[in-house]
Amino acid sequence: QAKSQGKNQFSFYTEKMKINTHNLIKAEEDLSQALQEHEFELYFQPQFNLKTNHVLGAEALIRWNHPEKGLIFPDEFIPLAETTGQIVELGYWVLENSIQYLASRKQEGRPDILLHINLSSKQLSDPHFVTLVQDLLAQYHVPATSLGFEVTETSILEDVTLARSLLQTFKDMGICIAIDDFGTGYSSLSQLKNLPVDLVKIDRSFVMDLEKDPDDREIVEAIIAMAHKLNIKVLAEGIETREQWTMLAAFECDLGQGFYVSKAVIAEEFNQGQPIVHQDESLP
Ligand code: C2E
Ligand code: MG
Ligand code: MG
Ligand code: MG
C-alpha cells in the first residue's frame, strides 16, 4: 500500500501527454485494468465542526496505487475517466466502497460518521443512478443519513432541471447534499435558494489567503452569511493554518477540513483518529 502522500512529481497522464486518440485508448485500457486489478483505494480526509472541534465525518477521495508509478492523485485520472465515460464505473466503485466502509464501521461499533463522496456530472445524468444508490444502501444496511454527495456548481449547471430533481430525491432520502468548490463556478449565491442544498463548501482558493487578503475575507463572510440565511451549513476547505481556522470559526463557519488538521488518510488510519481534533494547548 502506498504510504507516501506527497503530490507525485511525475504527471504522466495529463500534463506531459497530449490527449490524442492513441493515448486516450491506452489510458482507457489502463483504467479498465486498474479497476480489474483493484488498484484504486479510498482515502479519508476528516471534516470537523469548527466550534466543538469534533470530527463529524470525512470526505472520501480516490487514489490509484499504480504498480509502477506509485500513488496517483485523482486530478490525473478523473478528467480522463470523464472523457472516456469510465467515470460511471469508477464512480460506482467509489459509491460501493464508501457504503461498504460505512457498513464495516457499524459492524465494528465505531461512532457514526457522515461520509461525503464526490459525484461527477456523468453520474448525475446516469438514469440508473438513484436505483443504484438505493440498492447499495439497502444491501449493506447503511442509513442514507450517513452519506453525503458533493457536486460542483459546474456539473449542476450542465442540466439544472435534472440536477435539481435528482438532488431533491437524494435529499428526501436523507442524503446530505453539498456544493463543492463553491465560488469557483458561474453560479451565484442567489441560485442556491432554488437548489436542495444542505451544505456549501467554500473553495480552497478563498481560504488560502484569508490572513492577507481582505477581499477573500469579505467573500467568505458574505458566503457564510447568505448560506446561513438560507438555512445552509458552510464548510471551508483547504484550511492549512491555525490562523485560518480561528478566523473561520470567528466568522461562524460551521465546518472545516484541511491539511492543518489532516490530509486524506487510509481507512485504518482514519479509524484510529481522535473523535476530538485538538485541545487548544496541543494544536499541531
Ligand atoms: P475536491 O473534491 O475539491 O477535494 C479536495 C481536494 O483538496 C483533495 O485533493 C484534497 O486532498 C485537497 N485538500 C484538502 N485539504 C487541503 C489543504 O489544506 N491544502 C491543499 N493544498 N489541498 C487540500 P485530491 O484528493 O487530490 O482530489 C482532487 C479532486 O479530485 C477533488 O477535489 C475531486 O474533485 C476529485 N475527486 C477525488 N476523488 C473523487 C471521486 O471519487 N470521484 C470524483 N468524481 N472525483 C473525485
Ligand atoms: Mg469534494
Ligand atoms: Mg472541494
Ligand atoms: Mg476543490
Residue 192: which pLDDT band, with cuts at 50, 70 and 90? Answer: confident
pLDDT at 222: 94
Residue closest to 240 by CA, chosen among 248, 228, 232: 248
Residues with Cβ < 8 Å from 140, sequence gap 6 or more?
99, 100, 102, 103
Residue 19: which pLDDT band, with cuts at 50, 70 and 90? Answer: low
Residue 108: which pLDDT band, with cuts at 50, 70 and 90? Answer: very high
Average pLDDT, the chain: 89
Residue whose grid cell is 486489478: 37
pLDDT at 25: 84
25-39, 84-98, 182-196, 229-243 — which is least confidently predicted? 182-196
Dig out the grid coordinates for 4 from the structure.
Answer: 507516501
Query: What is the residue with the minimal CA distance to atom 25 of ligand 1?
Result: 61
pLDDT at 279: 44
pLDDT at 278: 46
Query: Distance from the CA of 154 to the center of ligand 3, in angstroms?
Result: 12
Tell which atom from ligand 1 comes closest to the C-alpha of 203.
3
Higher pLDDT, 116 or 1: 116
Query: What is the residue with the minimal CA distance to atom 20 of ligand 1?
Result: 238
The sign of the torsion formed by the CA atoms of 247, 250, 253, 256 equals positive
If you average pLDDT over residues 228-257, what whole number do you get? 97
Q: Is the ipTM of this complex over 0.95?
A: yes
56-93: pLDDT as tens digits: 999 999 999 999 999 999 999 999 999 999 999 999 99
pLDDT at 3: 35
The sign of the torsion formed by the CA atoms of 71, 75, 80, 82 equals positive
Q: Is the pLDDT of residue 189 over 80?
A: no
Residues with Cβ < 8 Å from 197, sequence gap 6 or more?
167, 177, 178, 179, 232
Residue closest to 56 by CA, chosen among 148, 140, 119, 142: 148
Residue closest to 115 by CA, chosen among 145, 92, 140, 158: 145
Residue whose grid cell is 461525503: 116
Q: Is the pLDDT of residue 281 over 60?
A: no
CB distance 39 to ligand 1 below 6 Å = no
pLDDT at 24: 80
Tell which atom from ligand 1 comes closest to the C-alpha of 61.
38
pLDDT at 284: 36
Q: What is the number of the ligand closest to the CA of 178?
A: 2
Query: Distance from the CA of 118 to the center of ligand 2, in angstroms?
Result: 5
125-182: pLDDT as tens digits: 899 999 999 999 999 999 999 999 999 988 888 888 999 999 999 999 999 999 999 9
253-262: pLDDT as tens digits: 999 999 999 9
Q: Is the pLDDT of residue 46 over 60?
A: yes
Higher pLDDT, 280 or 39: 39
Query: Distance from the CA of 61 to the center of ligand 1, in angstroms?
Result: 6
Query: Distance from the CA of 181 to the center of ligand 1, in angstroms?
Result: 10
Q: Is the pLDDT of residue 18 over 90?
A: no
CB distance 167 to ligand 1 below 6 Å = no
Query: Distance from the CA of 34 to the center of ligand 4, in angstroms?
Result: 25
Q: SS3 for the chain, per residue?
A: CCCCCCCCCCCCCCCCCCCCHHHHHHHHHHHHHHHHCCCEEEEEEEEEECCCCEEEEEEEEEEEEECCCEEECHHHCHHHHHHHCCHHHHHHHHHHHHHHHHHHHHHCCCCCCEEEEECCHHHHCCCCHHHHHHHHHHHCCCCHHHEEEEEEHHHHHCCHHHHHHHHHHHHHHCCEEEEEEECCCCCCHHHHHHCCCCEEEECHHHHCCCCCCHHHHHHHHHHHHHHHHCCCEEEECCCCCHHHHHHHHHCCCCEECCCCCCCCEEHHHHHHCCCECCCHHHCC
CB distance 47 to ligand 1 below 6 Å = no
Mutation test residue for ligand 1: of 72, 118, 153, the one with most atoms within 8 Å of CB: 118
CB 90 within 8 A of CB 25: no
What gap in Å lies between CA 179 and CA 152, rounded to an integer? 5
CB distance 124 to ligand 1 below 6 Å = no
Higher pLDDT, 68 or 19: 68
Query: Distance from the CA of 105 to the center of ligand 1, in angstroms?
Result: 23
Q: What is the number of the ligand closest to the CA of 148?
A: 2
Mutation test residue for ligand 1: of 7, 8, 61, the one with most atoms within 8 Å of CB: 61
Higher pLDDT, 12 or 96: 96
Query: Distance from the CA of 265 to the center of ligand 1, in angstroms?
Result: 12
If you average pLDDT over residues 224-240, what whole number do you get? 96
